[in-house]
A and B are shown apart, each in its own frame.
Chain A
Amino acid sequence: MTKLKEQKSIPVGKVQRATKFISTGAKIGGNYLKHYSKKLVNPDISRDELHLDNATDIYNSLSELKGSALKVAQMLSMDKNLLPSAYQQQFAMAQYSAPPLSYPLVVRTFEKSLKKKPTELFDSFTHAASNAASIGQVHQATLKGKKLAVKIQYPGVGDSVKSDLAMVKPIALRMFKLNPAEYDEFIGEVETRLLEEADYTLELKRSIELSRQCSQIPNVKFPTYYPSLSADRILTMDWIEGKMLGEVFKNNTLSQTERNLLGQALWDFYHYQIHTLRSLHADPHPGNFIITPDHKLGVIDFGCVKVIPNSFYKLYFQLLDKGILNDSKRLDHVFHNLRFIYPDDTAQDKLFFKDVFTQLVELLGRPFQTSRFDFAEKAYFESLYKFGEEIGNMKAFRESKKARGVKDALYINRTYYGLYSLLHELGAEVDTTSFVDFKP
């Protein structure tokens, strides 16, 4: 759940997004004109400059885009242009900006799926929404003295996701020079997650399941969910008092001890899911957490859940093994299987990508190499940032004709970027070994 005003600051309509694509198209057209007019004067000019112009324009326009279109672009580029975009742009569904639902439409939604008006189901029900959720909004209600949060989804979100993804396809194919099969694999993954987010019945099931399984983690709190007051586009749960995590970042009144405790709760919450449950809340967005008055971490949104396949888990988390970076053979094996390196890459490319990804793994895995890690440390994040930028400017990366990475990594990477950035903003020092008693 994001605060209304945050959402207002991202004015994205589908038409605007479409226009963005059109203007990019026009620019590319312009680049071709420029190219051919130069060619008239100088027939020897190569197409390199043209490609560079195109890539720059497409990239610039995509980074201005928000919503699921951007998400796709970002995810596809994750292994090419790592951290800057992932940091600068917050996550997609939170940016999915739907205008608020009118009260009559809220009533209509209730009548359609629960056959009753909200005023008949609850003792009280607020006329206006109190928060905007990623693809809907939250109303406050009371029933038998209990305060409840009722999330209501905008009609037609599923279709909108599909049309957004259809819109991005031609441009993404060009930009990343993917073949359609690869594209479908990645898009399929993104589309599945986004559509799942639009399915509140599934979210209800997962919320109940995951919050039960995670209930033992210290300092984490979950609302109770009410299946009889929920439906495909309505989700009713307890109202958790407190401040959104985002607000806490802004006016930081917490002591260092409290911040460390919260950071530890976040860390434990994620690593318990990753290593024990193998299924995780893949949306570490500040709007999905509430800090209660007694400084506990309330988790309120299980819309985006990624189940980690076993084979992928074994492969991916080997990268956190302390010795792996010095074990060239094992590293090759993992890199091949994660498709960072392809068997048909040139020897030069193999060396290049191995080097880049080794640096990356070292950098991202650094918090795991010591027993405690201070996420407040600016230097670490600056080096992450700088490295991401370097990758983005590497010609070999930009022009590689292959998608580097596997689809299962998309959401795991996203989760780690999100988690790191939350911990950084929180300024927490965390015991990173609390859940490392696993053996891949």
Chain B
Amino acid sequence: MEKIKKAKTKAEAVSAAKIISAYRDYLLSEGKQPASVFKFCKDQGFKEDEFYQYFGSFEALEKSIWKEYIDQTRSGMEADENYQSFSTREKILTFYFMLAETLKADRSFVLHQLKGWKNPSSTPKFLKGFKSSFEAWINSVLNEGKGSGEIANRPFLDQRYDMLFWIHLMFILQFWSHDESANFEKTDAAIEKSVNLAFDLIGKGVLDSAIDFGKFIYQNSKN
């Protein structure tokens, strides 16, 4: 009862941030979603329509938390004056390092969400906005890379790089969620090494020669 009273006094200033923080608290203390939006709002002293003003459902709320991770990382990174002078590889590295830093502040929530994600081949609902924000960003960076020649043009294949980087990001997320090293130092190493590998693969190199040779053999075998 007392909880309701306390919340009521602040009721005028209900904002998206406030709802999110109340939801996060609930989820992490109770270990599960509230029974309903009605119950949640009643307990927290919001009006139900105040909740719907920002979010259509708990899922939509979770989605917005995740999307915010990307947007926050991106804006933080782009605010750095040196960022524009970085190479594509460095931009992507910076992005992952900063994302790891952003997620660190919210690790309990992230781990709780990832725990429920059992099937790695499908993207869970809460990651949908996170994914589209990420893809928008990675595509713009990859295009820059293609322009500067850092990334090789490969017909058809290079259209799917955003997907590959998404899988890569999921790998990093999984690695980080299982990382127990001090200050998540191993995640830093994993990011550094895997991005270097990725760039060795998408830059002009062995793969292009292999494709070229493969094409040649294929064409000649038909004659």
Contact = CB atoms under 8 A, between A and B. Distances in A.
Contacts of A156: 181, 185-186, 189
A155 B90 contact: no
Given A102-B90, A105-B192, A155 B97 contact: no
Interface in B46-91: 80, 82, 86, 89-90
Contacts of A99: 193, 196
Given A102-B89, A102-B93, A103-B90, A155 B82 contact: no
B183 interface: yes
B133 interface: no
Contact of A104 (B90, B186, B193): B90
Interface string A90-117: 0000000001011111011001100001
A119 interface: yes
B94 A104 contact: yes
A112 B154 CA distance: 38
The 7 closest A-B pairs by CB, nearest first: A104-B93, A104-B94, A108-B97, A155-B185, A155-B189, A156-B189, A155-B188
A108 B188 contact: yes
A104 B80 CA distance: 12
Contacts of A159: 181, 186
Interface string B177-205: 00001010110110111011000000000
Given A102-B89, A102-B192, A102-B196, A107 B94 contact: yes
A195 to B, nearest CB: 14
For chain A, give the interface size range. 10 to 19
B90 A119 contact: no
Given A102-B93, A155-B185, 4 more contacts: A107-B94, A111-B101, A155-B188, A159-B181
A99 B189 CA distance: 11
A152 to B, nearest CB: 12
Contacts of B183: 112
A164 B186 CA distance: 17
20 contacts: A99-B193, A102-B93, A102-B192, A102-B195, A103-B86, A104-B93, A105-B93, A105-B192, A108-B97, A111-B101, A112-B183, A119-B82, A155-B185, A155-B186, A155-B188, A155-B189, A155-B192, A156-B181, A156-B185, A156-B189
Contacts of B186: 155-156, 159
Interface string B114-146: 000000000000000000000000000000000
Contacts of A105: 93, 97, 188, 191-192
A112 B184 CA distance: 10
Nearest to B188: A155
Interface string A110-136: 011000010100000000000000000
